[in-house]
Amino acid sequence: MRRSIVHEGAGQLTYEIREIVAVAKKMEAVGLSVTWENIGDPIQKGESFPSWMKEILADLVAEDASYAYSDTQGIRPTRQFLADLVNARGGCQITGDDILFFNGLGDAVAKVFGFLRREARVIGPSPAYSTLSSAEAAHSGYDHLTYRLDPSRSWLPDLDDLEAKVKYNDAVAGLLLINPDNPTGVVYERDFLERMVDIARRYGLFVIADETYANITYNGAKPCSLSQVLGGVPGLSLRSISKEYPWPGARCGWIEVFNKNENPEFRRYIDSLLAAKRLEVCSTSLPQLTIPRIMGDPRYPAHLERRRELFGSRARQAFAALDGIPGVKVILPQGALYFTVLFEPGALDGDRSLPPANAEVGALVSGLVDRVAPDKRFVYHLLASTGICTVPLTGFCSDLPGFRMTLLETDDAKREWIFQTVAQALRTYLS
Ligand SMILES: Cc1ncc(COP(=O)(O)O)c(C=O)c1O
């Protein structure tokens, strides 16, 4: 090639949640029975799409309008419906024109970071959901800039660390937060969110809040949306039906833009996202059409409440199984669909292993565990020994060792088996 054709950020595009699948598939091919605890797809883990929602979908499938393109921003009445939901919360008031649909938040994230000026950096949490951290890193061509979520404070961000990094790096133009958080399950209450927004206000940053799990909070969480505390700070919220209906295969997410007209630079940036979407014409129409009918249905609040209780009780179940094991730390999640186990400093030192399920799996794992991070080494051994496929925490833009599993297993006996088997494996591995 007479010129390099590889983007400066190409090396930053990592997604451990799916990369572990290739390893697990190899082990499956030599007889390992794999339990997929790596990916947050409720449907794949056995949750059924509610039948009343299927009926709404069936009605829409029968309507010709469902097969047309939509406005670039998305279906107009759906955008108005979502704007009304935002406005009813109090705080920032928006119109349907402040909403822009994407083909899933994956698409939204690619645009949000892809159309940001390269020198403008967005600081985000560590650990972090890797789609966000990788997209920011790829856009800049450097490692993602992060602030620390502090496990000694139930995974709340270390605001001194955040402020210092913002203050001494004038490339930072945006602040990213995930609320409720993936992978830690921390939920920011109003006071805390106000303090984060205050940092953004004082240093002239815009705020990106990933609120994918906004309606999946439990165990005493007092959730608060960005729009309720943002005041006049420019910001955007990322939302999706993937985890909430749940319908991840719909690839339907949207951004809610706040205070676009408060700042000409922010307005130009948001306009560029719309212009980029225009080149693609629009996002998929059918899932958008379901939103007013499903979210506006009188059965929807009860549906959300049932799932809050369900995931709250599964989080407590995981906590009961894994709390108190020497060498690990667990924190009871208050939101989202995951459970993170953290290793205490030094716990993984030394040459540790677990008995593999069979000799071929053993041969595979021994070829993998050299030269990988210590938590990934545990994840590989856990997989080879028990078939339980989790994701190392160092795959979430973090230098804290640990791993993430999910709260999604629908079979009660199997879920208890997963938590107990992981607990037993930890005891053996760390003894
Ligand atoms: C925090 C967070 N944001 C965004 C997404 C992506 O959602 P979507 O299915 O809309 O692309 C996920 C998916 O797991 C997530 O956990």
Residue 365 is part of a domain; what is its CATH number?
3.90.1150.10
158 pLDDT higher than 90:
yes
Q: Both 225 and 326 in a single domain?
A: no
Q: Both 179 and 156 in a single domain?
A: yes
The predicted structure's pLDDT at residue 5: 66
Return the best residue to mutate from 101, 240, 247 for the ligand 1 pocket (most ligand atoms within 8 A of CB).
240
Ligand 1 atom 14 nearest Cα: 40
Residue 59 located in a structural domain:
no
Residue 52 located in a structural domain:
no
Q: What is the pLDDT of residues 260-269, one digit of tens each?
A: 999 999 999 9
Give which of 296, 258, 288, 256 is closest to 74, Cα–Cα: 288
Q: Both 220 and 262 in a single domain?
A: yes
Distance 242 CA to ligand 1 centre (A): 7
Q: Is the CB of 287 under 6 A from ligand 1?
A: no
The predicted structure's pLDDT at residue 370: 85
Q: Is the CB of 210 under 6 A from ligand 1?
A: yes
Q: Is the CB of 108 under 6 A from ligand 1?
A: no
Q: Both 315 and 257 in a single domain?
A: no
Final residue of a structural domain among 295, 313, 347: 295
Q: What is the pLDDT of residues 208-253, one digit of tens each?
A: 999 999 999 999 999 999 999 999 999 999 999 999 999 999 999 9
Final residue of a structural domain among 295, 329, 351: 295
Q: Both 73 and 189 in a single domain?
A: yes
Ligand 1 atom 2 nearest Cα: 212
Tokens of 284: 């998929």
64 Cβ contact list (under 8 Å, min separation 6)? none
Structural domain including 305 reads: 10-47+301-430
Final residue of a structural domain among 295, 330, 351: 295
pLDDT band at 19 (very low <50, low <70, confident <90, very high): confident
The predicted structure's pLDDT at residue 369: 87
Sheet arrangement for strand 253-258? 99-102, 253-258, 235-240, 206-210, 172-178, 121-126, 146-150, 156-157
pLDDT band at 9 (very low <50, low <70, confident <90, very high): low
Gap between the Cα atoms of 104 and 94, Å rounded: 21
Q: Both 179 and 208 in a single domain?
A: yes
Return the best residue to mutate from 16, 38, 112, 129 for the ligand 1 pocket (most ligand atoms within 8 A of CB).
129
Q: What is the pLDDT of residues 92-124, one digit of tens each?
A: 999 999 999 999 998 999 999 999 999 999 999
Q: Both 167 and 120 in a single domain?
A: yes
